[in-house]
Amino acid sequence: MSTPINIAVLVPCHNEALSIRAVVEDFRAALPGATVYVYDNNSTDDTLRIAADAGAVIRQERRQGKGHVVRRMFADIEADVYVLVDGDDTYDASVAPEMVRRVVERNCDMVNCAREAVADEAFRRGHRFGNWMLTFLVSQIFGRQNNDMLSGYKALSRRMVKSFPVKSEGFEIETELLVHSLELGLPIDEISAPYRERGAGSHSKLNTYRDGLRILRLISHLIREERPLPFFSAIAGLLLAAALVLGVPVFIEFERTGLVPRLPTAVLATGLVLSGFLSLTIGLVLDGVARGRRENKLLAYLTQPAPRRE
């Protein structure tokens, strides 16, 4: 580069004493000019001391959860390019320079590192299926530009980081990052790299079912927030379909005899029709709100400079 790039490596950590030294040393070697920040999230082992000994800048976030840590990191750290990576020593630091290069030279706002497991234990079958299912779901709704939505290894531009309103509290932060980029139409790229299994004695903090449900809840929330018209239109369609199923027999009976023998059913069908139209109206109103919110996010994004180039 003709001018130096300020690179920050951001490592959220909770009880990673067995692996944090290797992570810090590997990324300092791969990105010699970068500053490695380790944000400790209430560790009860020697994570802080070992990270400091390895040459990292130490910060702390008391609110438990990866989302809280990422929010704090994005607010605190000033850089041109951010490399976000987990502290479990499962990701390949050697691809970090290529990820940074793509952010700078291609003006990408996110470069995701898709995981290629080198052993069955590195990427368990249940996790692999859940990741595929969630990635497929998001791609069908918001557009496909990513093959590994839940990867914790990404390079991000400054304008992406400083315009991103983090809402997540836990591991669903990766989903929120991707949906934010897709909704604003930001340039995204992806690279593949080996994904190692954790070292002996190291255990994942990810709970397959609990965190999977939290991610599903977030996806549902984001659909409602970012795509309210399709969301509430679907609800309206279900309500109107139920109204037809209940109301058509009543109407046929009325046409044949002039009587309404099942008055409660007729009232229920009428209520369902009204609720369906109300849901559709809510979707139309919230769609306008979502458009305005999206425009404000884009304006915030455009106030930040693009990464410096040659």
The CATH code of the domain that includes 15 is: 3.90.550.10
Whether 214 and 269 share a structural domain: no
The model's confidence at residue 133, banded by pLDDT at 50, 70 and 90, is confident
| Contact predicate 304/162, CB 8 Å | yes
Q: What percent of the chain has pLDDT over 90?
A: 51
**Token pair recorded at residue 182:** 């897709």
Q: Is residue 47 scored above 70 in pLDDT?
A: yes
Cα distances (angstroms) measured from residue 120 to each of 15, 77, 116, 147: 24, 36, 10, 19
Q: What is the DSSP letter of 40?
A: E
Contacts of 297 (CB under 8 A, 6+ apart): 163, 165, 180, 183, 184
Whether 216 and 267 share a structural domain: no
Of 177, 209, 224, the domain-final residue: 224
Of 224, 246, 261, the domain-final residue: 224
Stated pTM of the model: 0.79
Boundaries of domain holding 194: 7-224
Q: What is the mean pLDDT of residues 21-37?
A: 95
* Burial (CB count <10 Å: 0-12, 13-18, 19+), residue 62: exposed
Q: Note whether residue 162 is domain-resident.
A: yes
Q: Please name the helix (run of DSSP H) or strand (run of DSSP E) that holds residue 268, with its range, or none.
A: helix 263-302
The model's confidence at residue 124, banded by pLDDT at 50, 70 and 90, is low
Among 169, 166, 149, 139, CA closest to 297: 166
60 SS3 class:
strand
